[in-house]
Amino acid sequence: MLYHPTRKTITRHPVQAPIAGLDHLPPLLQRIYTARRLNAAGELDRSLARLPSPFLLSGMDAMVERLESVLRRQEKLLVVADYDADGATACSVALLGLRWLGAERLDYLVPSRFGFGYGLTPELVAVAATRKPDVLLTVDNGISSIDGVRAAHEYGLEVLITDHHLPGQELPSARAIVNPGLPGNSFPGRCLAGVGVMFFVLLALRQKLRESGWFVETGRAEPNISHLLDLVALGTVADVVPLDHVNRILVHQGLLRIHKGQARPGLLALLAVAGRNPMQTTATELAFSVAPRLNAAGRMEDMSPGIECLLTEDATRAGELAQSLDSLNQARREVEEQMKQDALDHLDSLAVADLNQSGLCLQNPAWHQGVIGILAARLKDRLHRPVIVFAPAGEDELKGSARSIEGVHIRDVLSDLATAHPGLLVKFGGHAMAAGLSLRPQQFDRFSRLFDAAVASRLTGMTLEQVLVSDGSLTEAEIGLELAEALNMAGPWGQGFAEPLFDGEFEVLDCRILKERHLKFMLRVPGSNTCVDGIAFSVENPAAWVGCSLLRMAYRLDVNQYRGRRTVQFRVEYMEAGTSLA
C-alpha cells in the first residue's frame, strides 16, 4: 500500500564554485556552506550589527508614530495574538518590549482555535471591545482580517497590524501595517516570523523614542531590546520559516543568550521539562523539544498558559506552568497517535486509484482540530505529497490544515481554487508549505477532487519520489567529536539552511530496539577499525532491521550527551540494506 514508507533516493549536492573568503574554514565546512548557496562570506557574520534597519520595512514609520503616541498619551493597548508558538512568543515580545519602553496600560487577548478560529475576526473584536482598549495591535495575524478591522472601526478602535503571512489582493484598512511580504519592501529579510516582525517594530520604536527625547524626558533607561532574542529565536524556529541571513542572526543571537543562562525563566523551564541542557541547546532542540510543549497549550486548550509561562519573572511559577504544558503535550501526543492510526487504517481501505492522488484530503468527525496540522505534516512526510486534514469546527464547518512539499505553493493552490470556484472555501490563508482553511462539510468531496487536480497540474514534469540531498560521505578522520561540535556551532540550521546530511555504507556490529520505536546501533566503517554509535528515531517496524549486517544510511553527525559525557553519534534519517563491502 502507498502509505507504507517507500524507498528514498539519496543524491548529493552538485559541486558549486567556491565562495571567496571561506579559505580559513575546514574543506568540509566550505563545501557545506557552498552547497547552501551563500552569496558571500559575509552572510556567515551572525553579529547584531549585520541586522538591517527596521525602517526598511514598509509601514514602519506610521507604525512607530502611532505607538509613540500610545506611550505619550498612555492609551490602553490590547495585543491580539495567534494561538501557536510564533504567536505566543510574538505576544510576549510585544508586551515585554512595550512595557520596557514605557507603556503602562497593556493587555493581551489570544483566541481559542475552537471558539474563534484564526485571526482578528469580528467575533473576537466584540470580545476585545469589552476590555475597553484604545488600540488593537495584532501579532502574527491580521493581514487577512478585513472584516475584523472593519468591525473594530465600528467599535471606535484603531488597529495596528504586524504579520508575516502572505497578503491577499485586498488589505485591511488598518492605521498601520508592517509585513515583510507587502509589495514595495526594501527589507532584505522577507522570511521573518511574526515574532521577528514584532522585534523589528520594537527596534524602530526605540530609535524613534530616542530621537524624540522620550528617555531624557521621562528619566527612563533605554532598554536593550536584544534581551528578547531568546523568545525571537524560539518563535522563528517553531514557525519553520526559512533561515535566511537575517533569521540566522536572530536565532544565533537568541541561542547565545540561552547558552549563557540569560533566557526568560519560562523558556529555561520548558528546556528543563524537556530534559535539555540550556548551555548546549541547538535550534533543532528548540524546534522539536520546546516548541511542541508551548504549542500544546493552543492545540489542546488555550494558549494563555503558554504566554504566561514566557512572561513570568518568577522561576517557580515558570516551572509550574512548564510542567502543565508538558502534560498537555503528552495528551496531544496520545491524541495524535490515535488520529494517525485512524488515518492509516483509512488509507489501507482506499482503492489503488485513490492512493495515487497527487493531493490528498482526509477527514474524520472524531478528530481533534488542534492536532490536524501535526497529522497533516506526518502524512505529508510519509506520502511525500500535499495533504490536507480536516476536523469538525461546529455544526456546519470543517477546518482544514494543509502541509505541502517542495514545488507546490499550498497557499497559491488554495487561492487559485477560491478564485476559480467562488463559494468553495469559507476562508483560507498561510504560506508556501503550510496553510489553513475552512469549508462547508457538503463541499468536502468536491473540494478533494479539485484540490487533487490543482496539485497534479503543478506537479507536471515533477516526480513524487522522495529525494534526500546529501553533503557526501565523511572520511574516517572526519567522524569525530571535533567535527560534530563544529557543525553544531556552524548553523543555526533549519528550514532553507539545512543541517548537513551525509551518506555512506556501514557494517552493523550491534542493533537493538529502544522504547519499542527507536533503534540503537554500533556501526563500523567497512574495512577499518573506526566505530561509531547510531540512533534512528520512530522507526517503522524496528524489529525488521535487527540482524541486518550492512546498511546504507543518510545521517546527521550529532553529539550525544549522557551523564555529562559528550560523544559523537550518527542520527539516522534513512536507511536501506547495503549492497557491498567495497
* 73-87 per-position pLDDT tens digit: 999 999 999 999 999
For 386, the 3-state DSSP assignment is: coil
**DSSP state, 497?**
B
Residue 532, classed as helix, strand or coil, is: strand
Average pLDDT over residues 386-392: 95
Query: Average pLDDT, whole number, for the chain?
Result: 92
Question: What does the pLDDT read at residue 350?
Answer: 62
Res. 513: pLDDT tops 80: yes
| Residue 316 clears pLDDT 70, i.e. is over it | yes
Cα–Cα distance, 132 to 32 (Å, whole number):
54
CA angle 538, 540, 542 (to 5 degrees): 85
Reply yes or no on whether the pLDDT at 581 is more than 60.
no
**380-389, 444-453, 555-564: which has the highest mean pLDDT?**
444-453
pLDDT at 353 over 50: no
Q: Specify the pairing of strand 550-562 against strand 518-524.
A: unpaired
10's grid cell: 539519496
Residue 18 confidence (pLDDT) above 90: no
420/477 same-domain check: no
Whether 533 has a pLDDT exceeding 50, the answer reads: yes
Joined together, the cell numbers standing for residue 85 give: 508558538
Task: Let me know whether 168 and 302 are in one domain.
Answer: yes
C-beta atoms surrounding 579 within 10 Å: 9
Are 265 and 409 members of one domain?
Answer: no
Could you tell me if 557 and 484 are in contact, meaning their C-beta atoms sit under 8 angstroms apart? yes
| Residue-range definition of the domain harbouring residue 477 | 9-36+467-577
Q: Is 472 left (phi over 0), alpha (psi -120 to 50) or beta?
A: left
pLDDT at 1: 32
Do 454 and 471 reside in the same domain of the chain?
Answer: no
441 in a domain, yes or no?
yes
Is the pLDDT at 370 greater than 50? The verdict is yes
What is the structure's pLDDT at 232?
A: 98
Q: What Rg do the C-alpha atoms of the chain give, in angstroms?
A: 24
Of the ranges 7-21, 173-187, 478-492, 501-515, which one carries the lowest mean pLDDT score?
7-21
Say whether both 570 and 447 belong to one domain. Answer: no
In a domain, 4, yes or no: no
Q: Which of 155, 194, 188, 153 is nearest to 174 (CA)?
A: 153
Q: Cα-flanking dihedrals φ and ψ of residue 267, to 5°?
A: -70, -40
138 and 260 in a single domain? The answer is yes
- pLDDT at residue 382, as a whole number: 85
What CATH number has the domain bearing residue 488?
Answer: 2.40.50.460
Select from 411, 428, 458 the last residue of a domain.
458
Q: For residue 204, what are the CA distances in angstroms to 77, 178, 208?
A: 18, 12, 6
Is residue 151 a part of any domain in this protein? yes
Q: Whole-angstrom Cα distance, residue 248 to residue 242?
A: 9
- Distance CA(239)–CA(86), nearest Å, equals 6
Q: What is the pLDDT of residue 4?
A: 42
DSSP secondary structure, 2-70, as one string? TTS----EEEEPPP-PPPTT-TTS-HHHHHHHHHTT-S-GGGG---GGGSPPGGGSTTHHHHHHHHHHH
Amino acid 311: pLDDT: 98
Task: Tell me what pLDDT residue 355 has.
Answer: 56
Assess whether pLDDT exceeds 50 at residue 582. no
Please answer whether residues 362 and 339 qualify as being in contact, where contact means their C-beta atoms are separated by less than 8 angstroms.
Answer: no
Alpha helices in 290-386 (DSSP H): 291-300, 304-311, 315-349, 352-355, 372-383
The pLDDT confidence band at residue 166, using thresholds 50, 70 and 90, is: confident
Q: State what percent of residues in the chain have pLDDT above 70.
A: 97
The whole-angstrom separation of Cα 203 and Cα 248 is: 18
List the grid coordinates of 111. Answer: 483566541
Position 571 scores a pLDDT of 96
Model confidence at 399, pLDDT cuts 50, 70, 90, reads very high
Residue 120 counted as domain residue: yes
pLDDT attached to residue 352:
46
Span 189-202, average pLDDT: 96
pLDDT tens per residue, range 215-258: 999 999 999 999 999 999 999 999 989 999 999 999 999 999 99
In this structure, are 20 and 66 located in the same domain? no
Q: Are residues 315 and 367 in the same domain?
A: no
pLDDT value for 2: 38
Task: Say whether both 471 and 573 belong to one domain.
Answer: yes
Asked if residue 397 is part of any domain, the answer here is: yes
Which CATH number does the domain housing residue 444 bear?
3.10.310.30
Note the pTM of the prediction, 2 decimals: 0.90
Number of domains in the chain: 3
All three cell numbers of 122, joined, read: 469580528
